[in-house]
């Protein structure tokens, strides 16, 4: 099964963490050259590869001779400005030895939450791949502030996987994979080579493991795996510093942790709604509306709304929660928070009477809603046409 998954994957996203790319003397050129050679090997086997890289801030710190942590946002942004150029130069030189070109793509969250810009990014990446150029993606740390940050590059890679319609995501880190216990605390810790479903036990196993470099620990990687597998994409956590790790994975060797994809998953657009858009408010559903959305794939009608939190406008993303506060779905609302408060609990036939107009029968149409309740079977449709 493992070999079959890797054989079938034609478009592969490789995320390379800071802990893999850096050593005591800054960027680890030996490891980078080793990974580049492996990626070129995959290209020669007919694979398209997209890289999500970390390392800009760490590279900048080393260039400046800074040994302690950077505390302020301007310090981190300035270090990224210095380090990103060096990082790309190292990649460009390493790939250039094989006659392979690379293209830099720097993103912020706002590039992906805006649908038009999201599709522009998608089209750019597809064009680079068509030209046989390897896209190298990083967060634009120099301009990113908390409101538009991804959080870490594990999240960026999860979102990028959806953008490029990846067949496989490989997250290269500084440990062997996911363990059942923290290997730094327990000599009995064993690596979990296969995860069929991300259960509470799996998430708990991830909470105690961290990486010394970068912002994303194992918890972040498992959260990214959960998102990616929801989109029908297998996800691997593997040791990036290990020689020929990518070759070994594609040869079917049992290394790292493989997370199997779900069989019933979200479409590309609904994945964008569920995991890329940030909610501007909450709408609480009654049990009838909850059942209609989960069991029947229905739209949210005003009659099923019992409470509204936050201030949002028409077209904003909102979370739909049950009366216990559990998130059931995310969607794009047809009415503002003020309007929903006025029509909640009422039938759709009364909307015009209450508001003086009626643009839609639904507060959120099912086509603009993604169910994220874990017990729900979310069916994935065909991949999105390019540029739409």
377 pLDDT more than 50: no
Instruction: Kindly report, residue by residue over 204-252, the tens digit of the pLDDT.
Output: 777 755 444 444 588 889 989 999 999 899 999 999 999 999 999 999 9
Question: Hey, what domains does the chain have and what are their CATH numbers?
Answer: 2-263 (3.40.1160.10), 275-371 (2.30.130.10)
Sign (positive or negative) of CA dihedral 107, 112, 118, 123: positive
pLDDT category at 137 given cuts 50, 70, 90 is very high
pLDDT of residue 90: 96
Percent helix, percent strand, percent coil in the chain, to nearest 5 = 40, 20, 40
Output 199 or 49, whichever has higher pLDDT: 49
pLDDT category at 146 given cuts 50, 70, 90 is low
Determine phi and psi for 326, rounding to 5 degrees.
Answer: -80, 130
Compute the average pLDDT of residues 353-364: 96
Angle between helices 153-163 and 218-230 (to 10 degrees): 10
Q: How many whole angstroms separate alpha carbon 340 and alpha carbon 331? A: 14
């Amino acid at each position: 099964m493992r070999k079959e998954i890797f054989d079938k994957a034609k478009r592969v996203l490789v995320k390379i963490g800071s802990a893999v790319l850096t050593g005591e003397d800054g960027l680890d050129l030996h490891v980078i050259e080793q990974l580049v050679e492996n990626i070129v090997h995959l290209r020669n086997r007919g694979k398209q590869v997209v890289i999500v890289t970390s390392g800009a801030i760490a590279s900048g710190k080393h260039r400046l001779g800074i040994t302690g942590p950077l505390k302020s946002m301007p310090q981190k942004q300035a270090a990224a400005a210095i380090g990103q150029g060096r990082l790309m130069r190292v990649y460009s030189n390493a790939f250039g030895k094989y006659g392979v070109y690379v293209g830099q793509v720097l993103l912020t969250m706002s590039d992906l939450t805006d649908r038009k810009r999201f599709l522009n990014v998608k089209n750019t990446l597809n064009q680079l791949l068509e030209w046989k150029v390897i896209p190298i993606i990083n967060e634009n740390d120099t301009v990113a502030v908390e409101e538009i940050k991804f959080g870490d590059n594990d999240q960026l890679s999860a979102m990028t996987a959806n953008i490029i319609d990846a067949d496989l995501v490989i997250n290269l880190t500084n440990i062997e994979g996911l363990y059942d216990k923290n290997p730094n605390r327990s000599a009995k810790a064993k690596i979990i080579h296969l995860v069929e479903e991300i259960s509470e036990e799996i998430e708990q196993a991830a909470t105690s493991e961290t990486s010394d470099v970068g912002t994303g620990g194992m918890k972040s990687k498992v959260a990214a795996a959960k998102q990616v597998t929801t989109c029908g994409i297998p996800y691997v956590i593997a040791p990036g510093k290990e020689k020929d790790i990518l070759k070994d994975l594609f040869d079917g060797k049992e290394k790292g942790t493989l997370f199997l994809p779900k069989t019933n998953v979200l479409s590309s657009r609904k994945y964008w709604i569920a995991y890329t858009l940030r909610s501007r408010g909450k709408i609480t559903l009654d049990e009838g509306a909850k059942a209609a959305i989960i069991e029947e794939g229905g739209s949210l009608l005003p009659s099923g709304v019992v409470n509204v939190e936050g201030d949002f406008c028409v077209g904003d993303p909102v979370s739909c929660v049950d009366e216990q506060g559990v998130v059931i779905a995310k969607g794009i609302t047809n009415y503002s928070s003020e309007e929903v408060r006025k029509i909640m609990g009422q039938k759709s036939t009364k909307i015009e009477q209450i508001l003086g107009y009626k643009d839609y029968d639904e507060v959120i149409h099912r086509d603009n809603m993604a169910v994220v309740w874990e017990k729900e079977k979310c069916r994935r449709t065909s991949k999105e046409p390019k540029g739409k």
